[in-house]
Amino acid sequence: MLRAIQNELFDLGADLATPGEDFAPSEMVLRIVQAQVDRLEREIDAMNAGLEPLRSFILPGGGAGAAPLHLARAVVRRAERSAVAAAREVPLNPLALAYLNRLSDHLFVLARAAAAEGGGDILWEPGATRSAD
């Protein structure tokens, strides 16, 4: 999954670097296409099927495998915000924006799957550190 995503990130970069009005892929112009977004969705669903339902917010962490995936998710969220802001100024491929959105969710679920192998998610405990004891 990560190898495909790494390759697609180069496609995404090419797509975002080529704003315009026509978002159809061609030999000369790389565009993110619906099939790439759909694949992320299928992988999210498959990974989620093996995970416990969320009971609380999750703190980034969960072991050596999960922590970098949480960091990558944060970076993708920042990229998504930047791309949405850029799309207000120049026409960008809506599927590129959708891909970024689904990718951050994919990385979140992948981090949960990695954490599950190492003991589970680190759950937020509201107010857990309020007492001075």
How many Cβ atoms from other residues are within 10 Å of residue 127's Cβ? 6
User: Which residue's entry shows tokens 């007492």?
Assistant: 131
Per-residue pLDDT of the chain (133 residues; tens, 9 = 90+): 999 999 999 999 999 999 988 888 888 889 999 999 999 999 999 999 999 888 889 888 878 889 999 999 999 999 999 999 999 999 999 999 999 999 999 999 999 999 988 778 888 888 888 886 6
Looking at residue 90, what is its pLDDT?
96
The CATH number corresponding to 2-43+61-122 among 3.40.640.10, 1.20.1200.10, 1.10.510.10, 3.30.465.10 equals 1.20.1200.10
How many Cβ atoms from other residues are within 10 Å of residue 58's Cβ? 19
Instruction: Quote the DSSP letter at residue 128.
Output: T
Domain boundaries, the chain: 2-43+61-122
Looking at residue 45, what is its pLDDT?
97
